[in-house]
Structure 1
Amino acid sequence: MFLPFSTHFYVDSGLLLFSLYYTLLCLCFLMYCWVLADPVCGYFLKNCTIRGNLSDPSNMKVLCYNRNLEVIPIAIPRKVSNLDLAMNKVSKIEKLDFKGLSNLKILNMPRTQISQVENGALGYLEALQVLGLAHNRLTTLSDYLFQGLANLSLLHLDNNLIATISSSSFQTLSSLKTVNLTKNNLYNMKEVQPIVQLPHLQELYIGSNRFTSFQSQEISNTSIELRLLDLSRNPLGVFRITADVLPYLEVLDIAYCGQLGRMEWDVLNRSFLSNVNRLNLSGIEMSFKRMGMVLQTVNSSLVHLRMQDLLNGSSVLRLEYNNIGNLSEEFLQSCKHMTEVDISNTGLTQLSEFSFRSIEQLSAFKLGHNRLSSVPKATRNLPTLKILDLSFNIINKLGCSDFSNLTGFTQLFLFHNQIPNIKGEFKSLTSLKTLLLYDNQIASMEDGAFEGLVNLTELNLEILCSRDFHFLRTLDISCNYITYVNDGKLDPPPFSHLTSLENLRIFSQRHKGLSHLPINFLEGLKSLLSFQNEFTALTPKLFRPIPRLNSLYLSKARIQSLDFLIAANLSRVTFLQVSKNDITVVNETVLQSLPALTYLDMQDNPFTCGCSDAWFVQWMESDNQTQVVGAGEFTCNYPADLKDTKLLDVELQFCTVDLGLYCYISTTCLVLLTLVASFAYHFLKWHVIFGYYLFLAFLYDTKQRNKLTPHGCQYDAFISYNAHDKPWVLRELLPELEGKQVWKLCLHHRDFQPGKRIIDNIMDGIYGSRKTICVISHRYLESEKLVKRRTYLSWPRAGEQTGVFWQQLRVLLRPCVNLSNII
């Protein structure tokens, strides 16, 4: 019997497939665990800005406005609560665009060129409360447009082309409180009837449409919950209320209504509008008698009346942007319940001392942008006044009695006047919180100029005097000419008494910013939370007196490096703005020194796109705490061949060595190797042993082939047989191969060299022969079960012909090039 014998390694295919399958399954499981343990959760979204914290998605905002997007981004974090897609080019909202955003509460898409919204596209937004679709190209509101928005409370549809509203389009919006349909193509009041009938609707804006009349019976036959109704800039010829359908209405705006400037006012019962307290009648042409009737209808509750740009010249009241010159008391008799008066931009030069005495509850008085040269005496008789705006006048002096009776003042605006000095005119304003005096001509202040302002929290002034402001919270001294020649200490520090100050803003106009800041400039500001400045030559010592700082604004400061922050003890800073500087590289240590940082603005810096910024790029894409604003727009300034290339588009992976990934790969390979070894030992033990020896044989075979002489083999075949089979070999095999076929055979009993080791004789015989013939018998197979898996030739049984056997053997013994082939 003969066996073709080769150097190939054969194993049980079923066991091998099972082993490979199990190994791959384990590998997939490990990969899954790695993804869970180390997800790609970077606080960065290309073409969008994320604000908030990924660990607290309830307040997370994704800002994608003005990015020329043509489709809704698909990588939006699923737990985002606020999404802004304004000013893009998304003409159509597809059905699956918002799938998965079930936590979204605010969706803002104005100026996005939307002309079509597929039915059901908004249905996934089950938590949505605010929807902004203003300034788009919608023409029709279909039946199923808002399906599923049961929690929607605010809807903006203004500035579209809407001409048709389906009767059931608002049916599911049971929580809706405010609807804005201003500036569309609606012409029939019945179009808005389904909206008005909503159970919780409070505000309806339908101005700048094509309504020609407003009649109560067209919108409802029963009372509705509406609090605000805006009908302004419609061509209303008639305003008629014949039933008490608006008992809760508080704000009514019919400004610039009427056909050819005229409108018929027909309210049959004064009680129908008894709760209206804010009325806008600006731009309506009415006779004095008709205007009196309108005012009588709402006079009992009116607290705010606006009558701007009246046309007939004999008005009861003229407000902002009118040329009234002087205003006397008789014009204000009908407005005694008003709480706010705005007569800005009227060319006013003076006011009568008792002009506003009849307005008993006046709290806000706006007189800005006029020609007043002093504080009007009329303000002294307004004990309820809290806010006074005298900005943009020509006031050139302050009197001691100007504010003596106004102890309830909280806000006073005197900026952009011609005030030369301050002598203590504000002493009586013990409730004042905000005082704006910038852009005057203040050259001096007497001692105690701000004495008594114990509640002042915000001061904007061009000259700094701190000792009177123990309770100051906000200080803005921008646009000044302060400068220092070096960073030496000041004696005393300028803010040493402002122990309650929380917000400080200061930058100089001289030389486009301060070139130096004294190292004790911020000493004493132990409560400071926010600091904004534009300067250079910063040192860590500057920030040490302000340990509570959490917001730092350093834009346009010509800063070249942030390394000064490392030793500045800013562990509480959450907001850092360093845009428009000269920063080229971000040091890893800088960001490590700011462990609380959640917002970083580094826009408009000349970044170097190389390995020096590779770490920064990787950090932006993987960090889940700090939002890097505008990261997708960062551009390269160096090297020259990458100038204006987006930083995140540059291939920098080769610069970084991810030790974590390498550890993961090494560990995975070790685990897999252990698994494979365990399976192999358990199921394929003998195959492995055989393979090991086969490998050794291969090495030996290679070594022996290198020793072959160029003349070729000494024998045609080496005969391997068991001693019990020797008679068959001598009687049958030798006569056929050596006698008839003239083959030269190697037989151990005949050709082995005497005195040489048997193993060496065997190896010399094998490697000196083209082929090896194994005579396989039962005795030969007693220790070799592996050959059962091999194809072998069987010697014919007694009485059978031997011709076929010798022919097959002859084919197997054909000469071949590879000397290692064994039969």
Structure 2
Amino acid sequence: CHMTIEPSTFLAVPTLEELNLSYNNIMTVPALPKSLISLSLSHTNILMLDSASLAGLHALRFLFMDGNCYYKNPCRQALEVAPGALLGLGNLTHLSLKYNNLTVVPRNLPSSLEYLLLSYNRIVKLAPEDLANLTALRVLDVGGNCRRCDHAPNPCMECPRHFPQLHPNTFSHLSRLEGLVLKDSSLSWLNASWFRGLGNLRVLDLSENFLYKCITKTKAFQGLTQLRKLNLSFNYQKRVSFAHLSLAPSFGSLVALKELDMHGIFFRSLDETTLRPLARLPMLQTLRLQMNFINQAQLGIFRAFPGLRYVDLSDNRISGASELTATMGEADGGEKVWLQPGDLAPAPVDTPSSEDFKPNCSTLNFTLDLSRNNLVTVQPEMFAQLSHLQCLRLSHNCISQAVNGSQFLPLTGLQVLDLSHNKLDLYHEHSFTELPRLEALDLSYNSQPFGMQGVGHNFSFVAHLRTLRHLSLAHNNIHSQVSQQLCSTSLRALDFSGNALGHMWAEGDLYLHFFQGLSGLIWLDLSQNRLHTLLPQTLRNLPKSLQVLRLRDNYLAYFKWWSLHFLPKLEVLDLAGNQLKALTNGSLPAGTRLRRLDVSCNSISFVAPGFFSKAKELRELNLSTNALKTVDHSWFGPLASALQILDVSANPLHCACGAAFMDFLLEVQAAVPGLPSRVKCGSPGQLQGLSIFAQDLRLCLDEALSWDCFALSLLAVALGLGVPMLHHLCGWDLWYCFHLCLAWLPWRGRQSGRGEDALPYDAFVVFDKTQSAVADWVYNELRGQLEECRGRWALRLCLEERDWLPGKTLFENLWASVYGSRKTLFVLAHTDRVSGLLRASFLLAQQRLLEDRKDVVVLVILSPDGRRSRYVRLRQRLCRQSVLLWPHQPSGQRSFWAQLGMALTRDNHHFYNRNFCQGPTAE
């Protein structure tokens, strides 16, 4: 599409200071106010700048015009900047003209420029006059103008032969220059005169060139005494890796150098001759040597570097201790190995790690990164003379040995050890005990040994690590045959996510005290442990010192909130990503120190009133990504005003007129992140996915009043028409039917039948007293529901231990109970072994059927297995309402009691299936 801007659109805003017109298909610069300080015209169709385009913008300091002519925004010509077009911008300090197909540097640029970015154009020739008068320039980027296309991640045009051409004095007059970018410029040599006069240069980027030979001989760095950062990455020879590399002596002149990037140069050995000139640099802190195909490395050479803090040797092919001899050699003097195209593929992306769990190595004095190499075993000889090493990363290797306390003997000062993504065997009791100062140990993603059937694993080494504070055993699929308890007095944080703790806790009490021995534990992560339930006794056996507990991404469908009092110091509880349906089962207990609660990404649709009100310390609550239709003030009580964060985004809120949550969210709006944009409606349909403020309140009506008025008017019309008509046509018939139905009501029938022939009991309850669960159900559930909870419709039950008369024989009491009750109720846990009183009562009930032609049997079966009996199945077929099954879901119990009341108050004759029989009738 094409944007049209009226001539005076921006002139109407005379105080405008910043304007971004990027990614609009405008073709000319519109009229702009003189107050403008920052202007962005990137990714537009503006291909011409002259003196009139930006006339009068004397206050302009920042001008960005990137990407107006390149492969993503193609054009048939290059951006044309007329000579002197920008000369009138006397305060311009930042000018960016990247990706514009420029072939020359624009002439007569303002002398006030401090930042000039001309990268990825087609400027293949630079001379002093191209940068004339730019004496204030601090950063110059001319990289990517003459590219090496074998390493290009996007469409690339090969650099012409014998180019680029840089005049020896191109930069000599830029005495204030601090940053120079010459990356991806096809440079194969460095002229020392290019850097003459650049005494203030701090950053030099020479990456992605052809300097693999030059860096072994050049003298170009001798005058760069203020250089802090030098990037030489990917200066490799096509398809070749060298046996040796020796840096030129001129590197020793970079006395202020702090960071050197040499990854992607491709040399196979690292010894003391490789980096010898760098050993004299007192300020060198960071050395990057990754992706060089190094297979032999003498790690002890870093002992000679006085200020070195970080060495990156990741993504190489180091397989063990090096036995190299000190061999002098140039980059092109040793044996060459021709590389296949697959060897230059990018390194795999890291999987999520525990960087947020373990201490940051950047604060330590010396870190060595050997991750993603070919290490199979670790030998002490590898780390000789590295006693000052404090952080060692060995992740993503193939280490499969059993660590026994001898692998890291020289590393007496090591504090952080990363062994994640390996195949370590944790069997020895003294593993890692040779590291007396170890504080953080990452053993995550070592799952292969734990998946071996029948092999035990020993965690007793944790108790011997007296200074260990952080331990990760995450994502190891730990589920059985491990130590029954972790013990440590120093451990403060434990990451146990990604295991099978649900399976371990299901093994009775075997692993119930697994974490109890961590007396000082503060931070515990039990995410992704396949937990379906979390019993109170489980929380009771967690360390009392716990302050942070993470239970994310499990299968918890409910949580006993009162059990939080077992963790008196808990401040953070994370239950995100579970299957909670409602926040009920009581409330957060009083006295809890909980400050942050995260229950996001569940299926919560209901919160009990006052659920959060007792947690006086609660300040951060995350309820996002649930099924809430409202947010009620009653959930929080007085706590609402103290909340600092209340996240309710991604919930299907019901944005009805007069919704109460609107007023509440406005009261606490300072605590609700993204209230105008992230809190959206889920219903009604026309507002779904829109902000809760998208509703036009002027169109709201009182829906309740409208429905009430409609119902009343409809009822009045129906009665006004129906009553006279029915009275005129069939008044006598309606009167007769009314009284007939009244006579059929159960309570009316019972009242009329209670005369001289009325029986003393409604039901005689028969059950097996030896089964405690059945007896408990009868006395507490059945009796309470039928005798106490039905009010004036309460039933009279006959119970053996309560209503039988002492002194009478068992048979006399049994006969009186069966014949003195309207129904005989059998409560059965099973139907395969019926004997004793149950059998005798059933025979008497059958005798009564033969004598009085009355079926008085009602069966209540508590176990699902009881329905397998042939008699039960036959009775269900003939008289279904006389066989009742106790429901397993609490939601079905109310229906069960209603059906049981009907079965005990009505004659079974009415329940028989007329398709099979007529049913017994009394004569």
TM-score bracket, normalised by the shorter chain, equals 0.5 to 0.7
- Out of 341-350 and 323-332, give the one that drifted further: 323-332
Match of 1:520 in 2: 563
Q: Which amino acid aligns with 1:362?
A: L
- Distance (Å, rounded) in 1 between the aligned partners of 2:466 and 2:644: 38
How many Å apart are 1:353 and its aligned residue?
Answer: 2.6
Quote the offset at 1:391 in angstroms. Answer: 1.0
Distance 1:122 1:601 in 2: 45
Aligned counterparts of 2:644 and 2:383: Cα–Cα separation in 1: 51
Structure 2 residue 664 is the aligned partner of structure 1 residue 606 = no
Tell me what 2:223 maps to.
245
Query: How far off is 1:254 after superposition?
Result: 0.9
Alpha-carbon offset, residue 321 of structure 1: 3.1
Matches within 5 A, 1:31-110: 89=23
Q: Which amino acid aligns with 1:449?
A: L
Residues 130-155 of structure 1, C-alpha deviation per residue, up to 9 Å, x if partnerless? x99999989899968998798x9xx9
Q: What one-letter code is carried by the residue in structure 1 that aligns with 2:422? A: N
Report the number of matched residues.
Answer: 556
Question: How many Å apart are 1:382 and its aligned residue?
Answer: 0.9
The Cα of 1:653 is off from its aligned counterpart by 4.2
Letter paired with 2:425: N
2:670 to 595, 602, 625: 625
Cα shift at 1:359:
3.1
What is the alpha-carbon distance in structure 1 between the residues aligned to residue 65 and residue 467 of structure 2? 43
After TM superposition, give the deviation of residue 516 of structure 1 in Å.
3.0
Distance 1:542 1:287, change over 3 A: closer
Mapping for residues 358-377 of structure 1, pairs under 5 Å: 358-374=385-401, 377=406
What amino acid is the match of 2:529?
N
2:550 counterpart SS class: strand
Kindly provide the amino acid, as one letter, of the partner of residue 407 in structure 2: A
Residue in 2 that maps onto 1:558: 603
Match for residue 439 of structure 1?
475
Counterpart Cα distance in 2 of 1:333 and 1:429: 41
Inter-partner Cα distance in structure 2 for 1:333 and 1:619:
76
Amino acid of the residue matched to residue 416 of structure 1? Answer: Y
- 1:32-91 Cα distance to aligned partner (Å, 9 max, x none): xxxxxxxxxxxxxxxxxxxxxxxxxxxxxxxxxxxxx999xx9xxxxxxxx9999x9567
Structure possessing the higher relative contact order (Cα contacts under 8 Å, 6 or more residues apart)? 1
Structure 2 counterpart of 1:577, which letter?
A: N
The change in CA–CA distance for 1:310 and 1:231 in structure 2 (over 3 A counts) is same
1:623 Cα deviation from its structure 2 partner: 6.6
> 1:582 aligned to 2:576?
no
Give the partner amino acid of 2:659. D
Alignment equivalent of 1:341, drawn from 362, 368, 392? 368
SS of the counterpart of 1:252?
strand
- The alignment partner of 2:234 has SS state of coil
CA distance in 2, matches of 1:308, 1:213: 23
Query: Which whole-Å CA distance do the structure 1 matches of 2:285 and 2:372 have between them?
Result: 22
Partner residue, 1:300:
280
- Does residue 556 of structure 2 align to residue 493 of structure 1? no
Q: 2:232 aligns with which of 237, 243, 254?
A: 254
Q: Structure 1 pair 380/184, CA: closer, same or farther in 2 (3 Å)?
A: farther
Q: Match of 1:504, SS?
A: strand
**How much is the aligned-residue C-alpha RMSD, in angstroms?**
5.6
Query: Which residue of 1 is the match for residue 314 of structure 2?
Result: 320
* One-letter code aligned to 1:498: S
Whole-Å Cα distance in 1 between the matches of residues 251 and 496 of structure 2?
48
Q: Measured at CA, do residues 89 and 484 of structure 1 come closer, stay the same or move farther in structure 2, by a change above 3 Å? A: same
| Cα distance change on mapping 1:382 and 1:241 into 2, 3 Å | same
Q: What secondary structure does 1:543 align onto?
A: coil
Paired with 1:588 and 1:400, the residues of 2 have a C-alpha distance of 55
- Whether contact under 8 Å (2:91, 2:112) holds in the other structure is no
Of the three residues 484, 487, 503, the one matched with 1:450 is: 487
Opposite residue 611 of structure 1, the aligned amino acid is C
The equivalent residue for 2:839 is none
Alignment partners' CA distance in 2, 1:164 and 1:506: 61
CA contact (8 A) 2:180 2:201 kept: no
- SS of 2:659's equivalent in the other structure is helix
Q: Secondary structure at the match of 1:576?
A: strand
Q: How far apart are residue 355 of structure 1 and its match?
A: 1.6
Instruction: Find the aligned partners of 1:195 and 1:577 in 2 and give their Cα distance.
Output: 59
Q: Please say if 1:171 is aligned against 2:113.
A: yes
User: Which whole-Å CA distance do the structure 2 matches of 1:84 and 1:575 have between them?
Assistant: 38
Q: Which letter does structure 2 place at the counterpart of 1:521?
A: L
* Compared CA separation, residues 288 and 449, structure 1 to 2 (3 A): closer
Q: Determine if the alignment matches structure 1 residue 543 to structure 2 residue 588.
A: yes
Alpha-carbon distance between aligned partners in 1 of 2:69 and 2:32, rounded to the nearest angstrom: 19
Residue 605 of structure 1 deviates from its aligned partner by: 1.9
Query: What amino acid maps onto 2:460 in structure 1?
Result: G
Judge conservation of contact 1:224–1:245 (CA < 8 Å) in 2: no
Q: What is the aligned partner in structure 2 of residue 734 from structure 1?
A: none
Cα separation, 2, equivalents of 1:120 and 1:577: 53
Q: Offset of 1:562 from its aligned partner?
A: 4.5
Worse-matched range after superposition: 533-542 or 350-359: 533-542
User: Which of 514, 526, 550 pairs up with 1:477?
Assistant: 526
Q: 1:306 to 1:260 in 2, by over 3 A?
A: same
Q: Which amino acid aligns with 2:486?
A: A
User: Aligned partners of 1:459, 1:649: CA distance in 2, in Å?
Assistant: 44
Give, in angstroms, the shift of residue 477 of structure 1.
Answer: 0.8
Give a deviation string over 1:321-344, Cα, whole Å, max 9, x none.
Answer: 34444443548999xx99433332
TM superposition shift of 1:517? 3.3
Match of 2:128 in 1: none
**Contact conserved, 1:145 with 1:169, CA < 8 A, in 2?**
no
Q: Which residue of 1 aligns with 2:876?
A: none
Counterpart in the other structure of 1:698: none
SS in 2 for 1:519: helix
Q: Structure 1 CA distance, aligned partners of 2:427 and 2:136? A: 53
Letter in 2 for 1:321: D
Q: Which of 403, 407, 413 matches 1:378?
A: 407
Compared CA separation, residues 217 and 164, structure 1 to 2 (3 A) = same
**CA distance in 2: counterparts of 1:260 and 1:573, whole angstroms:** 61
CA contact (8 A) 2:294 2:317 kept: no
Question: Kindly tell me: are residues 569 and 621 of structure 1, through their superposed partners in 2, closer, same or farther at Cα, counting changes over 3 Å?
Answer: closer
Q: 8 Å contact 2:569–2:593 — kept in the other structure? A: yes
1:256 deviation in Å? 1.1
The yes-or-no answer on 1:217 pairing with 2:199 is no
Q: Give 2:157's aligned residue.
A: none
Q: Distance in 1 between matches of 2:19 and 2:550?
A: 30
Q: Could you tell me whether the CA contact under 8 Å between 1:122 and 1:148 is conserved in 2?
A: no
Q: Is the 8 A contact 1:483 1:516 kept in 2?
A: no
Letter in 2 for 1:520: S
Letter in 2 for 1:283: G
User: Alpha-carbon deviations, 1:754-803, whole Å to 9, x = none?
Assistant: xxxxxxxxxxxxxxxxxxxxxxxxxxxxxxxxxxxxxxxxxxxxxxxxxx
- Tell me if structure 2 keeps the 8 A contact 1:603–1:631: no
In 2, are the aligned partners of 1:223 and 1:244 still within 8 Å (CA)? no
Give 1:320's aligned amino acid: S
Secondary structure (helix, strand or coil) at the match of 1:341 reads: strand
Computing the radius of gyration from Cα coordinates, the structure with the larger value is: 1
AA of the residue aligned to 2:206: L
Match runs of 1:10-49 below 5 Å: none
Is 1:402 matched with 2:438? Answer: no
Q: Distance in 1 between matches of 2:549 and 2:597?
A: 10
Partner of 2:421: 392
Letter in 1 for 2:230: L
Aligned residue number for residue 784 of structure 1? none
Mapping of residues 123-272 of structure 1, within 5 Å: 171-172=113-114, 193=171, 197-198=175-176, 201=178, 207-224=183-200, 226=202, 228-236=203-211, 238-239=214-215, 240-242=218-220, 244-258=222-236, 260=238, 267=248, 269=250, 271-272=252-253
Shift of 1:504: 2.2
Q: In 2 relative to 1, CA 145–540 (structure 1 residues): closer, same or farther, beyond 3 Å?
A: farther
